Amino acid sequence: MSGNTTSASQVLGGLEAIRPDLEACYRDLHAHPELGHQEKRTSAKVAAQLKSWGYEVHERIGGTGVAGVLANGDGPGVLFRADMDALPIKEQTGLPYASTATDADGGPIMHACGHDMHVTCLLGAAHLLAQATDAWSGTFIALFQPAEEPGDGAAGMIADGLTDRVPRPQVCLAQHVLPYPAGQVLTRTGPALSAADNYRVTVYGRSAHGSAPDKGIDPVVMAAMLVVRLQTVVSREVAPLSPAVLTVGSIHAGTNPNNIPESAEIQINVRTYGDDTRHQVKEAIARIAQAESAASNAPKPPGIDHFGSFPPTINDEETTEKVAAAFSAFFADRAGTLDLQTASEDFSAIPKAFGVPFSYWGVGCTDPAAYETAARKGTLATDIPVNHSAAFAPAIQPTLDTGVQAAVVAVLAYLGTGC
């Protein structure tokens, strides 16, 4: 047993005693979800607990963000981030602790991405580390981030002075529950999550009566040609071994059949895994939009608006290898490799702001028996609810224990003193 594993065993010795409180905390957070930037109840609860365990607590960072700092002697700093926000989805899990929460307009809210589990696991790790300060040395920063789903929560904390308000860590860590068997922890070196970029392209024509197309310039045809031509970006321009997705998710023009409208608008979502491909697709969209407009003799060039972007999540090799080795030592065959994910995250903005490396891993949250049955029947895609599904319902255990253990083990890979 390595020194760090000994430290982890020492710290995690306290898990059994706090497990009932953690499970109650998870059910409470699940029943009371809050949308991005509105995590007031959640952040108040987090701050109160961190204070009670002796953390120096910084509140209202970028709105509702909270950072708890526990300085415990010499050594490096480790920042661990959990996101707090929920989604505008009507929960259909049938769980006794299902959300019935609504926003100010009566819209439903649900923890459909498992951020309630992230908060609970980080609270568990923070509590255990505070209880066993003789097992580690250094500075632990528990960071609770608002608004991951809208994609601007990390940026908001950074703009509000995060890097000046907490000590600069040596490394940043984070985890996400995913629909793999609960009990598993899954790491991945290099690209792990895609970048996401949204574009709104408006093409301009000249309005005319529908019976007289020669008097106008038709932006509907222009937009239709643009949608078709955009399909060639991934199939004909991006290298076959560089994964990319380009989806036109919205197209809108006109209001009635006998009028050629003034303009047409399409909205595009792009997923890529590296800066080169990301830039290549962006350039291709602009080039094709301009060329289709020119081909249609448009009176003016298209408007191209880039909004709602997420950076790619590219795990640092050395950090991830260190975390993966600690996971293998602790979890044995429950530690594995994460598949490349097409989802996106804003977490990497935080280590980037500090100028430090990071690793982000997956924690399985599906009942292992249900997963195995579906895998055997070949019905994983239909039978196992994924993140953002109204039926998404992590098995509280062993997901919660595993998430707390993974956080503690990874943190102690840097801060553990062994004995």
Nearest residue to 175 via CA among 269, 321, 313, 19: 313
Q: Least distance (Å) from Zn ion to the CB of residue 190? A: 21
> Which range, of 63-71, 109-117, 214-222, 299-307, touches Zn ion by CB under 5 A?
109-117
Long-range contacts (CB closer than 8 Å, 24 or more residues apart) made by 208-213: 208/259, 208/260, 209/258, 209/259, 209/260, 210/257, 210/258, 210/259, 210/260, 211/258, 213/260
178 binds Zn ion (CB under 5 A): no
Q: Least distance (Å) from Zn ion to the CB of residue 148? A: 6
Angle at 124 between CA 121 and CA 128, to 5 degrees: 140
> Which range, of 107-115, 157-165, 255-263, 400-408, touches Zn ion by CB under 5 A?
107-115
Q: Least distance (Å) from Zn ion to the CB of residue 387? A: 5
Q: Least distance (Å) from Zn ion to the CB of residue 83? A: 6
Q: Least distance (Å) from Zn ion to the CB of residue 93? A: 16
Q: Least distance (Å) from Zn ion to the CB of residue 150? A: 10
Contact 416, 135 (CB under 8 A): yes
For residues 293-352, which are near Zn ion according to CB under 5 A?
none
113 binds Zn ion (CB under 5 A): yes
In the bound state with Zn ion, the residue whose beta carbon lies nearer, of 113 and 238, is 113
In the bound state with Zn ion, the residue whose beta carbon lies nearer, of 127 and 176, is 176
In the bound state with Zn ion, the residue whose beta carbon lies nearer, of 162 and 174, is 174
| Secondary structure class of 205 (helix, strand, coil) | coil
Helices 3-12, 396-415: axis angle to 10 degrees equals 130
> Which range, of 106-114, 178-186, 311-319, 401-409, touches Zn ion by CB under 5 A?
106-114
Q: Least distance (Å) from Zn ion to the CB of residue 149? A: 5
* Alpha carbon separation from 93 to 100, 111, 299, 342, 372 (Å, rounded): 11, 11, 52, 24, 20
12 by Cβ neighbours in 10 Å (0-12 / 13-18 / 19+) ranks as: buried
In the bound state with Zn ion, the residue whose beta carbon lies nearer, of 89 and 162, is 89
Residue nearest to Zn ion (CB): 113
Q: Least distance (Å) from Zn ion to the CB of residue 315? A: 17
| Secondary structure class of 251 (helix, strand, coil) | strand
In the bound state with Zn ion, the residue whose beta carbon lies nearer, of 113 and 173, is 113
> Which range, of 110-118, 183-191, 354-362, 370-378, touches Zn ion by CB under 5 A?
110-118
Nearest residue to 113 via CA among 38, 30, 195: 30
Number of chain residues interacting with Zn ion (CB under 5 A): 1
> Which range, of 7-15, 105-113, 189-197, 216-224, touches Zn ion by CB under 5 A?
105-113
Q: Least distance (Å) from Zn ion to the CB of residue 176? A: 6
In the bound state with Zn ion, the residue whose beta carbon lies nearer, of 360 and 371, is 360
CA dihedral of 225, 227, 231, 237, whole degrees rounded to 10: 70
As a whole number of angstroms, the distance between CA 96 and CA 87 comes to 19
Nearest residue to 115 via CA among 346, 338, 337: 346
Contact 35, 88 (CB under 8 A): yes
318 by Cβ neighbours in 10 Å (0-12 / 13-18 / 19+) ranks as: exposed
299 by Cβ neighbours in 10 Å (0-12 / 13-18 / 19+) ranks as: exposed
In the bound state with Zn ion, the residue whose beta carbon lies nearer, of 113 and 406, is 113
Q: Least distance (Å) from Zn ion to the CB of residue 87? A: 7
* Contacts for 326 with CB less than 8 Å, ≥ 6 apart: 4, 5, 8, 409, 410, 412, 413
> Which range, of 113-121, 195-203, 235-243, 354-362, touches Zn ion by CB under 5 A?
113-121
Question: Could you give the string, one character per residue 194-233, with x where binding to Zn ion holds by CB under 5 A and - elsewhere?
Answer: ----------------------------------------
In the bound state with Zn ion, the residue whose beta carbon lies nearer, of 113 and 121, is 113
Binding site residues, Zn ion, CB under 5 A: 113
